[in-house]
Amino acid sequence: MDASDELLRRADPAALLTLDGVISGLNAAMATVLGRPAEQCLGRDFGYLWPASQRMSAESLVVHAARTKTVAMRVLEFPGRAGAPVACLIEARSVKDPAGDEQLVWVHALDARNDLASLMIPFRTATTAADLGLWMYSPHEHQLEWLGGAPALAATFPDPTTYLSTVISAVHADDREAFRQLLRAASAKPSWVRLRYLTQHDGWHQLAVQTGRIQLGYDGPERIFGVVRDDTKQEKRRKKAQAALTAERRRAKEIAEFSSALITAATAQELQQVVLTRLAATFGASGALLALVDEGRLRVSTDAGIAMWEVDVLHGMSLDHPSPLPEAIRTGRPQFISDRDEYIRRWPHAAAYPRLARLGPDYAASITPLIEAGNQPLGGWLVTYGSGYKPSLDERTLMGTLADLAGQALRRIRSQQARVELAAALQKTMLPTLAEHLPGLEVAARYRPSRDGLDIGGDWYDAFVMPDGAVALEIGDAQGHDVDAAALMGQVRLSMRAIAAQEPDPGTVLTRTNELLVTMATARFASCTMLHLDPRDGRVTGASAGHVPVLCARKDGSHCIRELPGGPVLGVVPDTEYREETFTLDEDSALVMVTDGVVEGPGLTLEAGLERVGTLAGAALHDGLNPEETADRILDSAVGVDHLDDVAVLVIRRT
């Protein structure tokens, strides 16, 4: 037996290589590592026989030993016989072939059973670079060993070695079974599992964990290792963004309901009720009063936030009186009074309204006139703020928009405009006639007018072919049920068509339409969803301006709710950029676009309404109904919502 045979007569993997990395001899264990019979390995490049992910490390190991004639070590990973990958510490050193005096490189696996953590060094390096943490679990000892990684994560696990029971006790009770399953199901293709983990110093953390099994050494033990990512800050940002989105949607809903109630008020008493029950709550005010002009004098009413004895001072006051409320109504200019000094300086008759005379750092008042362009003063409202609250410029602008709506409603009430005549004049021109043929699509639309107010709706839908061959789809709601709502609906719909001909992206169309409405200083606003659908591949790009989500129904009867990104309703906030989202509509699937009257009502939440319509649409598609029949089924179901608003439905099936 020569010396080279002695080097290969080992239980652990071993091989002899030429200085350029060609295998001249190897034992059965190394052939097993390389995954092929020994005779197929001889004369082959050693590095090339390793898995692609390990090839560079294997080649550099041999080159280092051959050129420097020093010992080199690397941790290399190869597929194991039991399914779990094997991590081995491989040594390479230069040796002399006794037979021919040739320099060779001896590569062999080292026994690392007394230092298993050393085999995890490459994993530690990778996880540290990725700002992750790494731990190792021994099922037999029921212990977890923290191997390092991101410093912030190391602080989350201060004990380097701990029992599994201790770790589980810190996991949220609702997440413990998921963690146990993660340990039992560790595989070579792991997925992230989210866990809530209680730390000693800064409370709950939101962690993402994935696990995998690995054998440490050629004949070594099997361990489970876990990679940890701390998503706490990301989750807080997500929740904050979600809360902001929810608040924005809730605020948009409140404003939409407020404006709708203003427009549908049929009498001065109804208008008074709307203002006094909604105004203070909508704008976070502590109290509100409404003053209407009657033969040159103020007729004042209040909510519970302002006492009647304070209102008595204003009731019957002449419109010419030199105090803030009559002045704002008379001139049509809103007034904001931030403190007592400003009030006394501008209106020396401070005693005329004792509450305003007590203005201070924790108390302010905002006065907004109810006006309609070219007409006589109608009235105004006053809201008071406590606890240091100061309304933003956007809030005051929005309050002015609502006051304009109230002024228009009041003018109509006093002029006794006939509902039926207005409805007959405008209802015929409210909605577009859909194209008879849209390539690759079947489209159906339905509309039902409001059961309250002036019976003239602001809901609309549209579908038309774009210059690029795609189809534009839109649905929206111009708030109110009167002439102005219908007129604004027409303006918005036609503007979007014109803009889309030049700028097809839905986000851009909404951005430009919003700019146009803000520039026009319209007294109304509108919610809208716009989609850009390519029937050839089903690619859909969509954006929303404060509108309800889109529903997607599938042939198997299932459905999903797709809440598109975007921004606030159109015509209120200037310089708004509306974001987009792209998804795919499969063949024989359908999109359902609705207005809020279809999915919301006194006894039905938005979420429940969307599920209801989605279930109906999925069942209709499964039953083989066409879009016309599906739209009828959805419209019929809207009767049960008991919503007084007008409703619109647009169903689009990709054929």
Contact between residue 244 and residue 391 where contact means Cβ atoms under 8 Å apart: no
Average pLDDT, integer, range 617-630: 93
Q: Work out the number of other CB atoms within 10 angstroms of the CB of residue 479.
A: 28
CA-to-CA distance for 107 and 58, rounded, in angstroms?
Answer: 10
CA-to-CA distance for 241 and 251, rounded, in angstroms?
Answer: 15
Q: Which strands, in side-by-side order, build the sheet including 335-337?
A: 297-302, 287-294, 379-386, 363-370, 335-337
Contact between residue 518 and residue 553 where contact means Cβ atoms under 8 Å apart: no
At residue 418, does pLDDT exceed 50? Answer: no
Confidence band of 388 (pLDDT split at 50, 70, 90): low
Residue 529 Cα distances to 274, 318, 523, angstroms: 28, 47, 21
Half-sphere exposure of 490 (CA within 13 A, CB side): 12
The region of weakest confidence among 28-42, 246-260, 272-286 is 246-260
Which one, of 166, 222, 35, 38, lies nearest residue 16 by Cα?
38
Q: Dig out the tokens for 158 from the structure.
A: 């201060």
Q: Where is 183: in which H helix or E strand?
A: helix 176-184
Confidence band of 568 (pLDDT split at 50, 70, 90): very high
Residue 534: helix, strand or coil by DSSP?
strand
Residue 133: helix, strand or coil by DSSP?
strand
Confidence band of 610 (pLDDT split at 50, 70, 90): very high
At residue 37, does pLDDT exceed 50? Answer: yes
At residue 554, does pLDDT exceed 90? Answer: yes
Q: Work out the number of other CB atoms within 10 angstroms of the CB of residue 73.
A: 15
Average pLDDT, integer, range 452-474: 79
Confidence band of 399 (pLDDT split at 50, 70, 90): confident
Contacts of 607 (CB under 8 A, 6+ apart): none
Average pLDDT, integer, range 410-431: 58
| pLDDT tens profile 510-532 | 999 899 888 887 777 889 999 99
At residue 604, does pLDDT exceed 60? Answer: yes
Average pLDDT, integer, range 340-367: 67
- Is 363 or 61 the better-scoring residue by pLDDT? 61
Q: What is the DSSP letter of 44?
A: S
pLDDT value of residue 390:
74
The region of weakest confidence among 80-89, 155-164, 346-355, 580-589 is 346-355
CA-to-CA distance for 362 and 490, rounded, in angstroms?
Answer: 45
- The mean pLDDT of the chain is 83
- Is 272 or 188 the better-scoring residue by pLDDT? 272
Percent of the chain whose predicted confidence (pLDDT) is above 70: 88
CA-to-CA distance for 445 and 433, rounded, in angstroms?
Answer: 10
Report the C-alpha dihedral over residues 354, 356, 357, 359, rounded to 10 degrees.
Answer: 140
pLDDT value of residue 473:
93
At residue 216, does pLDDT exceed 60? Answer: yes
Q: What is the DSSP letter of 641?
A: G
- 127-136, 224-233, 301-310, 640-649: which has the highest mean pLDDT? 224-233
pLDDT value of residue 421:
46
Average pLDDT, integer, range 23-28: 91
pLDDT value of residue 1:
37
Average pLDDT, integer, range 89-100: 82
Average pLDDT, integer, range 428-446: 77
- Is 390 or 368 the better-scoring residue by pLDDT? 368
**Chain centroid to CA 254: how far?**
21
- Is 352 or 368 the better-scoring residue by pLDDT? 368
At residue 222, does pLDDT exceed 90? Answer: no
pLDDT value of residue 77:
85
Contact between residue 578 and residue 566 where contact means Cβ atoms under 8 Å apart: yes
Which one, of 170, 176, 128, 178, lies nearest residue 153 by Cα?
128
CA-to-CA distance for 245 and 568, rounded, in angstroms?
Answer: 10
pLDDT value of residue 279:
87
- Is 2 or 10 the better-scoring residue by pLDDT? 10
Confidence band of 189 (pLDDT split at 50, 70, 90): low
**Long-range contacts, 250-255 (Cβ 8 Å, 24+):** 252/527, 252/546, 252/568, 252/569, 253/596, 254/278, 254/281, 254/282, 255/282, 255/398, 255/402, 255/569
At residue 590, does pLDDT exceed 90? Answer: yes
Average pLDDT, integer, range 263-276: 86
DSSP secondary structure letters along 77-99: EE--TTSS-EEEEEEEEEEE-TT
pLDDT value of residue 256:
81
pLDDT value of residue 505:
92
At residue 455, does pLDDT exceed 50? Answer: yes
Residue 523 Cα distances to 58, 244, 265, 371, angstroms: 73, 26, 17, 11
Percent of the chain whose predicted confidence (pLDDT) is above 90: 21
| pLDDT tens profile 103-136 | 899 999 888 777 777 777 777 777 777 788 888 8
